[in-house]
Amino acid sequence: MVNSRRRNGLIIYKRFHAEFAGPGAAVGSFFDLDCEWILPVGDLSLVDPKEQEDRQKAYLIRRQWIRLTQQLTDNPLPAQRAQMILNQFENYFGAEMVAQLPDHAFALLVGVLPQTVYEVRQNSSSLENKARN
């Protein structure tokens, strides 16, 4: 499971989408049989749950992370979905960390094209620059 004492996680690439497993979430096992690639986020630390209760809690936390992402994908507007996932990650990991992550990772998380994420990032940068001037 992802260490719950650190700001870290994994973006787990599946065939047609990606899932984020954040702190406390179970990884591997039956959850990720169809995993094609993983992308660590933050200072990744994985720990082995010792007790059955710890494993069950990790499974529930993984489901919570999936539900959080699902709520973002419920928005019918792709640009808004992209903006919301970027905001979520920036609030949790910081803008510098998020800037290092590829557009396609966020796109697969919320079901948009990588170009949409790119455009949202560019528009956000333009707005920030205008606000500074």
DSSP one-letter code for 86: H
Average pLDDT over residues 14-31: 94
User: How many domains, the chain?
Assistant: 1
**Residues of the domain holding 64:** 8-132
Query: What residue type is 127 in one-letter code?
Result: L
Q: DSSP string spanning 24-71?
A: T---SGGGGTT--EEEEEES--B----SHHHHHHHHHHHHHHHHHHHH
- In a domain, residue 71? The reply is yes
Q: Over the stretch 8-21, which tens digit does the pLDDT of each residue have?
A: 999 999 999 999 99
Q: Over the stretch 33-85, which tens digit does the pLDDT of each residue have?
A: 999 999 999 999 999 999 999 999 999 999 999 999 999 999 999 999 999 99
DSSP one-letter code for 8: E
CB atoms under 10 Å from CB of 132, counted, come to 6
- In a domain, residue 78? The reply is yes
- In a domain, residue 1? The reply is no
- In a domain, residue 3? The reply is no
